[in-house]
Structure 1
Amino acid sequence: MPLLVTGCAKKGFPHYATNFREYAYVTNGGSNTVTVLDVKNLRQDRVIAVGQDPVDVTASPTRNEVYVVNAGAPGSNGSLSVIDAETNRVNATLPLQRSPRSIDVGPSGQRAYVTNSGSNTVSVLDLQHRLLLGVVPVGSGPEEARISPDGDTLVVTNRKSGTVTLIDPHSLQVRSTFSGCPQASDTAILPDSSKAFIACTGSRYVLAIALAQRPTKNHPHRQTEPDRELAMLEVGQTPTHLALKPDGGEIFVSNFGSDTISEIDTSTNEVGGAYLVGAHPAYGIVGNDDSTLWVSNFNADTIGVYSIDDGKLVHTVQVGNGPTALAFSSDDFWLFAVDASSGDVTVVRTLAYTPNGAPIAGQMFTILPAGRNPNSIAIKTFLAR
């Protein structure tokens, strides 16, 4: 996204073109709202009423839209709120099945995939025409659905049954099922769509799966390979989140029960080691520089800054109470931490300086208000028309 740097910009801070827009959308499960934060000006823009108990949010990669999953009352059907990012208003609401949990959007921005944890299904939606294309039965208590970058595989983790379902998104048919992953939860898929890694939260393991490959228009000479289990990788206790480096070379596992992160080499499917990072790490994210891992420590009210190149924790940033989900601004200048217990969002400047000019990897800049029980965040960036 183009930036316009001018002489009046505050030294060391980005200055954006006048038509540049960037917003952070935070779902507030206890308030039935979405808080919209103006990233460009670091202030709350507005609060949007959505459905009951919003639990997940994502932004379209191709349209100026944001999608919010509303779980609804316990045991009841939920809904999907469609927010127009240009007006920050809800312009459509689509019905879902019981207790929807998460959403992912395909690379073309045309389809959305929503797990319905109370119905043991995945809803497939046509976002352009606001239509339900189909409902695919999966395992018990589906947690996440993640579409591969090439759009050829949908990976669904079934938390209650401890299984992983692979779906062909073109035919909407189940292709493979893998068992033995207690409380299957978070998923990371490599950029080349060759492998998926799944956190088995009820254990000390991450499941590695080779995804089926077949010749396509873009890869006509690719050899056909079936889905197959590659390894069960031992990490720390209660792995909750997988942070994939943008280059796909490594995955960092947040081991909530061990206060550690584990490093997985995705080419060899081997665990490189575990490192202390903070009390109950819940979520990790790697910047576009591929060199720094940021980890939210839920019980320490901190973010740990881990240097991937040096293999060690280099800094700790104090944030609000109970930090969970993390998101970068489009230029990685700001890091936003959702503070689930204090109901706010901490804004961290990813590179700051001491009074004598020495660089600091991470420094709390401000705290912005959210609603009750914030739980997820998505960033949407575009140029206003």
Structure 2
Amino acid sequence: MSLPTTSVRPTSVRPWKQPGRRLLAIAGSWGLAMASLTAMAPAAHSAPAAPATRAAAEAPLAYVTNYSDDTVSVIDTATETVTATFPVGDGPKGVAASPDGARLYVSNGNADSVSVTDTATGTVTATIPVGNGPNGIAVSPGGTRAYVVNSALQRLTVIDTATNTVTATIAVGSAPQEVAVSPDGSRAYVTNYNARSVSVIDTATNTVSATINVGGFPQSVAVTPDGSRAYVTRPYSNSVVVINTATNAVSANVPLTDGPYDVAASPDGARVYVSRGQGATVATIDTATNTVTATTASGNTPRGVAVTPDGGHVYTANGNSATVSVIDTVTHTTSGIPVGATPVDIAIAERPTADLGVELAATPRPGLLNGRIDYTVTLTNHGPRTLASATVTLDLPTPTGATSPDCTLTTGEATCTAAGLAPGASTTRRVTVPVGVLSLGTPYTVTATRTSSAPTDPNPANDSASRTCTATTGLLINCT
């Protein structure tokens, strides 16, 4: 979701920047849309089930573009707090994350570019020129392509995410606003605001395969998880239209007052959530009946809307209140989180994590005068992210007399490090301990423990491993 940049209607919302100051133009009926409605649910509505509890380290992150601040706010959904804010380009609008949560793509409306950000570090790793008026943005399910709407150029720009280069541009309708990609990645849907249509893009050929007349200045679009329907908001017609993606025809029209703006589908496809910019509310639509089943209060002028992967919460970026609203989808209660100035769009993605598994092997090396034990630490990155860095320590007998080709030794401890380990890859570190330092006949346990790693490790269960060895003599060593 992002803001219209070209419109035949004087009441459209468009933030812009002038030298020396920042302005937000909210004209006409979009001006002070601040009605606050409480949740309601007809008897026909079946509430979503309560989401499964997730560990804090596994909770997703929400990324919010702050248009007037040229920043992105990072919200920890476990604590509902802003944990970081990082700069991007001039006038950030649309935002989308790679499927693994490793990268963030932000369209910079005033800089005619897309910022690629490493979510683990919050640093921009690439800036891609994309031409005038970049607005809505989406990433393919496989993460290999990013699709950026160019409102001023009436086109969709295709970015290869491996090389961060533009590989194609596709002509669409007048004043395109938003783009959504089907779950199988075969199609992209672009809302053409002034053309009152939706362009269907064949992503294999980068051509327009159909143009669907939806009327009413379409703004945003979301595709259901099964790919069977696309929901399109029409702010000035006060409705949401439903497209049958098999026939490319409008199959339903859902009346919805107060300027329906952005739309997002629940993970199970049972509901779509629509921000209502003129009513400071979010509407819930039951996709089985295409009826509004609940209306929940949000902050002022809600725009971007996103749903957590467990379906338990809806987040909205509230442009006129500098907040993000968090809506519980079961209770329809709302809380607020302060963010930057003029929040526009929001994306929720899995937390960047790398699960480091630690294994320890102990191999006896008998010798009359030089018996020893070779300890091998195996570090495996179970993903999903590349392991940027890790430290594993081994507690050793004192005094050690230990040696190691690849770990740092101090009294009673070995410190082993690793960096740049790809998902699924393993590496080993070795430490040798002479049996002379062990009390003969007394078992001694060595434990290898992950003491730090980046990005976050979500699974403490495999962070350590132990082996116990007993040396009766230098020739008789037993390890279990």
TM-score range, shorter chain: 0.5 to 0.7
Show the counterpart of 2:90.
52
Give the deviation of 1:197 after TM superposition: 2.8
1:317 corresponding residue in structure 2? none
1:16 pairs with 2:16: no
Q: Name the CA shift for 1:162/1:93 in 2 (closer, same or farther; >3 Å).
A: same
Q: Secondary structure at the match of 2:236?
A: coil
Paired with 1:331 and 1:376, the residues of 2 have a C-alpha distance of: 20
In structure 1, how many angstroms separate the alpha carbons of the residues matched to 2:278 and 2:267? 26
> 1:331–1:263: structure 2 CA closer, same or farther, 3 Å change rule?
closer
Sort the Cα spacing of 1:84 and 1:254 in 2 relative to 1 into closer, same or farther, 3 A: closer
C-alpha distance 52-377 of structure 1, shift in aligned 2 (>3 A): same
- The TM-score with structure 2 as length reference comes to 0.55
Structure 1 residues 341 and 112, CA gap change in structure 2 (3 angstroms): same
2:352 is aligned to 382
Aligned pairs, number: 301
Secondary structure at the counterpart of residue 149 of structure 1: coil
Q: 2:195 aligns with which of 161, 164, 181?
A: 161
| Equivalent in 228, 243, 247 of residue 268 of structure 2 | 247
CA distance in structure 2 between the aligned counterparts of 1:183 and 1:152, rounded to whole angstroms: 25
Match of 2:67 in 1: 29
Show the counterpart of 1:85.
119
CA–CA distance in 1 between the matches of 2:64 and 2:171?
29
Shift of 1:29: 0.5
Shift of 1:33: 1.3
Unaligned stretches of 5+ in structure 1? 1-12, 213-226, 278-294, 296-301, 304-319, 352-359
Written as runs of structure 1 = structure 2, the 5 A alignment for 1:1-385 is 15-17=55-57, 22-40=60-78, 42-62=80-100, 64-72=102-110, 78-212=112-246, 227-237=247-257, 238-251=259-272, 261=283, 263=285, 265-266=287-288, 271-272=290-291, 274=292, 277=295, 295=296, 302-303=297-298, 321-327=300-306, 336-346=315-325, 362=333, 364=335, 368-380=337-349, 381-384=351-354, 385=387
Offset from partner CA, 1:349-378 (integer Å, 9 cap, x none): 778xxxxxxxx65363xx544221111222
Amino acid at match of 1:171: T
User: For residue 28 of structure 2, what is the aligned residue in structure 1?
Assistant: none
**In 2, distance between residues paired with 1:37 and 1:57?**
14
How far 1:340 moved relative to its partner? 2.2
- Superposed CA offset, 1:321-342 (max 9, x none): 4444344555566664433223
Aligned partners of 2:171 and 2:112: how far apart in 1?
A: 17
Contact kept, 8 Å, 2:63 with 2:348, in 1: the verdict is yes
Give the 3 Å change call, closer, same or farther, for CA 205–23 of structure 1 in structure 2.
closer
Deviation at residue 65 of structure 1 after TM alignment: 0.7
TM-score by length of 1: 0.68
Note the residue ranges of structure 2 that are not aligned, 5 or more in a row: 1-52, 355-386, 388-480
Contact 1:235 1:271 in 2 (8 A): no
Instruction: Decide whether aligned partners of structure 1 residues 271 and 371 sit closer, same or farther in structure 2, where only a CA change above 3 A counts.
Output: closer
Q: Note if contact 1:188-1:196 (Cα within 8 Å) is conserved in structure 2.
A: yes
In structure 2, what is the equivalent of residue 223 of structure 1? Answer: none
Q: CA RMSD, aligned part only?
A: 3.2
Secondary structure class of the residue paired with 2:74 = strand
**CA distance, structure 2, for counterparts of residue 247 and residue 205 of structure 1:** 23
Report which of the two structures shows the higher radius of gyration computed on alpha carbons: 2
